[in-house]
Amino acid sequence: MMFLEPSLNHPNKQRDGEIKAGWIEVICGCMFSGKTEELIRRTNRALIAKQSVQIFKPAMDVRYDNLKVVSHNKNKISSTPVKNVAEILEHAANNEVIAIDEAQFFGKGLLEVATELANSGKRVIISGLDMDFEGVPFNPIPELMSIAEFVTKLHAICVQCGRVAHFSYRLIESYEKVLLGETNTYEARCRHCFHKGMLEKEKHKRLR
């Protein structure tokens, strides 16, 4: 289902002398579910509506491009790489729409920053993984989902069986919480195939 913006008006225009409150949108799901693609779609629509837009991504994410946000389908849009959430506040002051990709890498501080931006009248679009490679909630995305006005959970296709997938299965042997990767590192799996793979990993670990 395509997300339709609640208003085509600029979110932070003054009304009766006061700045209207903005809102928070969260786009979440597993790897390869189209999160970045949806973020790019929404920001492009905001640009068509002549809204001022600023897009941020973690400086550590250089998989496809050092500066641009790039989806797995190779769609791209200019962005500002930042090392921490404080830099987002520094650059966001004069923009009406703030978009943040790969938000799970910014940590708990993003909750406060997103709230501050929305309260100041900005539309905040956040995209990120809601679960990590072990199938555990990946904060701050679940916390952001609880305070957001709009939440869109996207799904991929399980590469093992073709069912709807919402888990990110790690293909390589690594237990780091944060590990950037593409199709050679992760694959989307349904609950059944994810659980089966995790059991096989655990069995292999015990036999070593």
Catalytic residues: 102
For residue 146, give the nearest of 155, 137, 159, 154 by alpha carbon.
137
Distance CA 22, CA 10 (A): 9
CA 205 → CA 103, 115, 138, distances in Å?
Answer: 31, 42, 24
| H/E element, 48 | helix 35-48
- Amino acid at position 136, single letter: V
- Joined together, the tokens standing for residue 9 give 């008006």
